Amino acid sequence: MADINRRSFLSAGAGAAFLCTIGDTQVDLAQPGAAKQADAIAARVERPPLARASQELPRPVPQPGGSYREYWIQARSAGWNIVPTGRDDWHGRKITGKTSFRAYLYQEMTEGFAAPKGGLNMPGPTLYGEVGDVIVCHFRNADTKLNQAVTMHPHGVRYNPEYDGAYMGKYTRAGGFIAPGEEFTYFWECVPGSAGAWPYHDHGPNHALNTFRGLFGAIVISQKGAKVPDVSYTLMFHQLQPPITGLSRSFQCINGRSYAGNTPILKATAGQDVAIHVFGMDDNFHDFHMHGHRWKDTGGANTDTTTVGPSETITARFTEDNPGRWLYHCHVFSHQDAGMAGWYDVSGP
């Protein structure tokens, strides 16, 4: 019998049904029209009794020396072009066919949701904190198209059940069911074990489909008083598949874009302290590789290729010492050649 490791175990179901569960219904997203079916089911999910009002659990306060880090985030669906340039800049070729679909995105707003603070992006805004802080996230479900409850569920931070942001059927608390037009404020504690980079994502009734559509972002928490990198990037490795997009082919993406020239162009200057946070945001394992550079893995060994699985994160941190134009990409070759690659430009001192 062949040895089975973590990667082969998860990939064993690659040919299986692409399932999501909404309430008491399971939908195979690989079937024609299944995404619309899932949306219709999610729109009919009723608010659980425990989620009708806040349970008034104690709100956490910052630790001595900490502070409240306040954000205003809304969720909305919007048109999204996966290959806005229409080209693969690495290989100098044209990408043909349709590349746009309706995504679901988190958007940062100014105080009181007065106005957008920047554009619509995938992933959503990166939330920052230090150990001892409390992240206060004012959340609004602003979508008028899909008509279903969504949430924000964080990894890595500490929270009580009210601020979990997870739909749990009849056990759902107030933060786990934010209907269209509603607002809710989450309180998340940055405890000592929170230092690092973590994802957040939708965990409402239709969480699988909506997360695959782009409803995800990052939380980066540093140790109290730790040096902040001179340059910091967040990269989400994921795929956008036909059952999600309605397009004729799959795209291997970094931050919702495919192919160099569309994916994020990273920039740094020789001598800078660089941190690149890489997340796995789909059902696959990906390998982050950057040409011409090395960093320490979690065991302290030098590496230039590190694996991330679903909802896992690695941080490549190094002092920049190698000016030039460099490739970064997933080293799963079928992912790399289907769009999961980009440029890293380093200027001299």
| pLDDT for residue 349 | 76
Structure tokens given for 36: 């619309």
On whether both 243 and 186 belong to a single domain, the answer is no
Among residues 226, 261, 296, the one where a domain terminates is: 226
CA 323 to chain CA centroid, nearest Å:
29
In 3D space, the residue among 20, 22, 19, 18 whose CA is nearest the CA of residue 205 turns out to be 22
| pLDDT for residue 277 | 97
Per-residue pLDDT of the chain (349 residues; tens, 9 = 90+): 344 344 443 443 344 467 888 878 888 888 888 899 999 999 999 999 888 766 567 889 999 999 999 999 999 999 999 999 999 999 999 999 999 999 999 999 999 999 999 889 999 999 999 999 999 999 999 998 889 999 999 999 999 999 999 999 999 999 999 999 999 999 999 999 999 999 999 999 999 999 999 999 999 999 999 999 999 999 999 999 999 999 999 999 999 999 999 999 999 999 999 999 999 999 999 999 999 999 998 888 999 999 999 999 999 999 999 999 999 999 999 999 999 999 999 998 7
On whether both 220 and 235 belong to a single domain, the answer is no
| pLDDT for residue 55 | 59
On whether both 112 and 222 belong to a single domain, the answer is yes
Number of compact structural domains in the chain: 2
On whether both 159 and 282 belong to a single domain, the answer is no
Among residues 226, 260, 284, the one where a domain terminates is: 226
In a domain, 160, yes or no: yes
Pair type for strands 341-347 and 266-269: parallel
On whether both 238 and 187 belong to a single domain, the answer is no
CATH number of the domain at 205, please.
Answer: 2.60.40.420
Pair type for strands 127-130 and 87-88: unpaired
In a domain, 9, yes or no: no
On whether both 28 and 169 belong to a single domain, the answer is yes
On whether both 183 and 272 belong to a single domain, the answer is no
In 3D space, the residue among 171, 169, 162, 170 whose CA is nearest the CA of residue 139 turns out to be 162
| pLDDT for residue 1 | 34
- Give the count of beta carbons closer than 10 Å to the beta carbon of residue 40: 14
In 3D space, the residue among 143, 151, 141, 139 whose CA is nearest the CA of residue 177 turns out to be 151
| pLDDT for residue 17 | 62
In a domain, 10, yes or no: no
**CB of 308 closer than 8 Å to CB of 282:** no
In a domain, 233, yes or no: yes
- Residue identified by tokens 């660089």 is 274
On whether both 70 and 57 belong to a single domain, the answer is yes
Which structural domain range is residue 278 located in?
A: 227-349
| pLDDT for residue 222 | 96
In 3D space, the residue among 14, 48, 13, 21 whose CA is nearest the CA of residue 37 turns out to be 21
The length of the chain is: 349
Cα-based angle 164, 255, 213 (whole degrees, multiple of 5): 60
d(CA 239, CA 285): 11
| pLDDT for residue 2 | 40
Q: Helical H runs in 179-315? A: 207-212, 242-245
On whether both 53 and 85 belong to a single domain, the answer is yes
On whether both 308 and 241 belong to a single domain, the answer is yes
Distances (CA, A) of 54 to 84, 205, 265: 42, 18, 43
In a domain, 273, yes or no: yes
In a domain, 13, yes or no: no
On whether both 36 and 51 belong to a single domain, the answer is yes
Among residues 226, 258, 286, the one where a domain terminates is: 226
Q: Tell me 92's DSSP state.
A: T
Structure tokens given for 177: 């069911």
| pLDDT for residue 11 | 41
| pLDDT for residue 15 | 45
In a domain, 92, yes or no: yes
| pLDDT for residue 53 | 63
On whether both 50 and 187 belong to a single domain, the answer is yes
In 3D space, the residue among 258, 201, 243 whose CA is nearest the CA of residue 80 turns out to be 258
d(CA 279, CA 337): 19
In 3D space, the residue among 230, 221, 257 whose CA is nearest the CA of residue 341 turns out to be 257
In a domain, 68, yes or no: yes
In 3D space, the residue among 218, 265, 231 whose CA is nearest the CA of residue 85 turns out to be 265
